[in-house]
């Protein structure tokens, strides 16, 4: 392209604010008035932030987390030897020896370098997380072995350090997803940093748990959704295939990690039931078929893995943690489940942080604010979104997912207990992925209402607060 008057290359013309806003609301990427190196710089900064925060916490060698960390370590340890735990298995002696050295958050263990009787450990050192799909454990187990061989670190330290990679990848992809949805680089980077430094995201990245990749799987779903809400093109099948494949992949990590895809599928069904003007980028058939395929993919992973594990191990095994956070039904299941549904709306109120990440009081305070912001992002998004926009889809998905995840948790508990137990108070961490979806809605709202400066300032305040508490270490430990 040349300038007609001068015959010299014309400079790129930035879109008018109104045009950029319309493109963002339609889910179309903004025209590139921002040099590529700006996005590259933001992504490098996000990766560095994740690495610094996670490795600082991990290097302190905090006791193993009460969030089932010993059993997750044992699963990864066995997976690195191509062995999958089964019902009735106990945690390996090598892992128990490391457990003694790290300690336990709530219980005094035998001395480092020794192994005590099974009774000296919570639930007699039973391996009760074998029911989870193996993808996270295979990836972490083999990678931790490689880190061990290069650095000389022990298996626990190596596996925990990999959380920095999971978090960095999640934050970078979150930035890319928001950019794909039309959000500016500064706002996209700030919200991606907020997602990573939020207590749920950072805590999961500093311990060995299959929650560690949940920011990455959610961000991949949002990135694929950005392609789906583009104006109809010649390859409408591609975003559908990506969404279905990513849904299956997320379920292969942990079924609850597929929650964003189930929520998006629910949003597709809602849109399919509305007049065409509410879904200008897709027909009713495409929405229903894609949504059904996503649900089927997640269900297939769950059913196939459950059947595989049902034929292994001790057939008379009883879950030793049954009744710890669950209790027997005293009425009909649905009436017991119903009062737990509103807890889903407090997804961003995550109030647990690994030792050395933050004080309990600070986590509770920020979690309370987060619950308010998350709710506001959902309902303000529904109120201000244009018909058929990316914001409308994400806000609907966030609402469906937030109300739906407690029921998914209850259904899993119902099936695993043989229909005898339920969760009276399901933990917000089970629905933490909906917090990330709400963050995406927040970014699109800020872009829509031109609140970029306000939201960026709020994001940076949380990020700086988290970094200060991380650097302070044990002084701020919970």
- Sequential DSSP letters for 124-193: GGB---TTS-SHHHHHHHHHHHHHHHHH---HHHHHHHTHHHHHHHHHHHHHHHHHHTT--HHHHHHHHH
Cα–Cα distance for residue pair 380/442, rounded to 1 Å:
9
Chain mean position to CA 29: 24
Cα–Cα distance for residue pair 324/123, rounded to 1 Å:
10
Cα–Cα distance for residue pair 60/241, rounded to 1 Å:
43
Q: Which has the closest alpha carbon to 189: 463, 474, 478, 473?
A: 463
What's the token pair of residue 53? 């925060």
Q: Which has the closest alpha carbon to 50: 183, 162, 187?
A: 162
Q: Which has the closest alpha carbon to 201: 398, 45, 357?
A: 357
**Which pLDDT belongs to residue 69?**
95
**Which pLDDT belongs to residue 329?**
82
Q: Which has the closest alpha carbon to 391: 380, 407, 401?
A: 380
**Which pLDDT belongs to residue 9?**
34
Q: What is residue 219's three-state secondary structure?
A: helix
Element (H, E) at 28: none
- Extents of the domains making up the chain: 61-161, 172-476
What's the token pair of residue 389? 């926009």
Give phi and psi for 327, each to the nearest 5.
-145, 155
Residue 313 class from Cβ within 10 Å (0-12 exposed, 13-18 middle, 19+ buried)?
Answer: middle
Residues, the chain:
478
Alpha-carbon radius of gyration of the chain: 23
Q: How many Cα neighbours within 13 Å face the side chain of 439?
A: 34
Cα–Cα distance for residue pair 125/159, rounded to 1 Å:
20
Chain mean position to CA 161: 18
**Which pLDDT belongs to residue 61?**
85
Over its length of 478 residues, how does the chain's per-residue pLDDT go in tens digits? 333 333 333 333 344 454 455 455 444 444 456 788 999 999 999 999 999 999 999 998 888 988 899 999 999 999 999 999 999 999 999 999 999 999 987 788 998 977 788 888 988 899 999 999 999 999 999 999 999 999 999 999 999 999 999 999 999 999 999 999 999 999 999 999 999 998 888 989 999 999 999 999 999 999 999 988 866 555 578 889 999 999 999 999 999 999 999 999 999 999 999 887 777 777 889 999 999 999 999 999 999 999 999 889 888 888 888 767 778 888 788 888 888 888 888 766 666 666 656 666 666 666 677 777 888 899 999 999 887 788 999 999 999 999 999 998 888 888 877 788 888 888 878 888 999 999 999 999 999 999 999 999 999 998 998 888 888 765 444 4
Stated pTM of the model: 0.89
- Render pLDDT for 298-311 as a digit per residue (tens, 0 to 9): 999 999 999 999 88
Cα–Cα distance for residue pair 410/406, rounded to 1 Å:
6
Task: State the Cα angle at 63 between 57 and 68, rounded to 5°.
Answer: 105
- Helices first, then strands: H and E counts in the chain: 18, 2
Q: Which residues pair with 9 in a beta bridge?
A: 2
Residue partners of 186: CB distance under 8 A and separation at least 6: 42, 452, 456
- Give the β-pairing of 327-328 and 421-422: antiparallel
The overall average pLDDT reported for the chain is: 86
Task: State the Cα angle at 225 between 221 and 229, rounded to 5°.
Answer: 180
What's the token pair of residue 410? 């209850």
Cα–Cα distance for residue pair 192/402, rounded to 1 Å:
20
Cα–Cα distance for residue pair 348/329, rounded to 1 Å:
28
- Render pLDDT for 412-467 as a digit per residue (tens, 0 to 9): 888 877 788 888 888 878 888 999 999 999 999 999 999 999 999 999 998 998 88
**Which pLDDT belongs to residue 275?**
84
Element (H, E) at 421: strand 421-422
């Amino acid at each position: 392209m040349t300038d007609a008057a001068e015959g010299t290359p014309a400079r790129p013309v930035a879109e008018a604010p109104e045009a950029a806003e319309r493109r963002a609301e339609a889910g179309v990427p903004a025209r590139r008035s921002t040099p590529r190196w700006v996005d590259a710089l933001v992504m490098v900064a996000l990766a560095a932030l994740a690495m610094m925060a996670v490795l600082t916490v991990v290097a302190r060698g905090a006791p193993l987390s009460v969030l089932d960390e010993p059993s997750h370590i044992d699963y990864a340890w066995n997976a690195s030897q191509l062995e999958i735990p089964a019902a009735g298995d106990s945690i390996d002696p090598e892992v128990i020896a490391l457990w003694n050295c790290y300690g336990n958050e709530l219980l005094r263990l035998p001395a480092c370098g020794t192994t005590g009787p099974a009774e000296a450990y919570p639930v007699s050192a039973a391996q009760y997380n074998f029911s989870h799909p193996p993808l996270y454990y295979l990836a972490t187990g083999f990678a931790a072995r490689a880190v061990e061989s290069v650095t000389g670190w022990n298996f626990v330290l190596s596996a925990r350090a990999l959380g920095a990679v999971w978090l960095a990848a999640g934050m970078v992809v979150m930035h890319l997803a928001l950019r794909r949805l039309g959000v500016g680089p500064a706002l996209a980077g700030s919200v991606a940093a907020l997602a990573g430094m939020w207590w749920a995201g950072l805590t999961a990245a500093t311990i060995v748990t299959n929650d560690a990749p949940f920011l990455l799987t959610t961000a991949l779903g949002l990135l694929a959704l950005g392609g789906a809400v583009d104006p109809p093109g010649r390859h409408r099948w591609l975003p559908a295939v990506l969404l279905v494949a990513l849904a299956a992949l997320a379920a292969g990590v942990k079924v609850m990690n597929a929650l964003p895809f189930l929520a998006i599928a629910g949003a597709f069904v809602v849109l399919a039931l509305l007049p065409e003007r509410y879904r200008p980028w897709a027909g009713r058939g495409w929405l229903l078929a894609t949504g059904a395929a996503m649900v089927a993919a997640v269900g297939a992973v769950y059913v196939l893995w459950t059947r595989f594990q049902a034929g292994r191990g001790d057939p008379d095994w009883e879950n030793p943690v049954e009744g710890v956070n669950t209790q027997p039904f005293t009425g009909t299941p649905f009436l017991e489940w119903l009062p737990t549904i509103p807890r889903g709306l407090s997804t961003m109120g995550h109030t647990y942080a690994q030792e050395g990440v933050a004080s309990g009081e600070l986590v509770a305070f920020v979690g309370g604010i987060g619950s308010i912001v998350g709710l506001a992002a959902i309902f303000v998004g529904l109120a201000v979104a244009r018909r058929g926009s990316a914001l409308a889809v994400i806000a609907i998905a966030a609402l469906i997912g937030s109300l739906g995840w407690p029921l998914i948790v209850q259904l899993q508990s119902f099936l695993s207990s043989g229909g005898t137990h339920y969760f009276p108070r399901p933990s917000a961490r089970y629905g933490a992925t909906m917090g990330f979806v709400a963050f995406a809605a927040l970014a699109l709202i800020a872009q829509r209402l031109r609140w970029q400066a306000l939201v960026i300032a709020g994001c940076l305040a949380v990020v700086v607060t988290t970094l200060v508490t991380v650097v302070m270490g044990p002084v701020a430990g919970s």
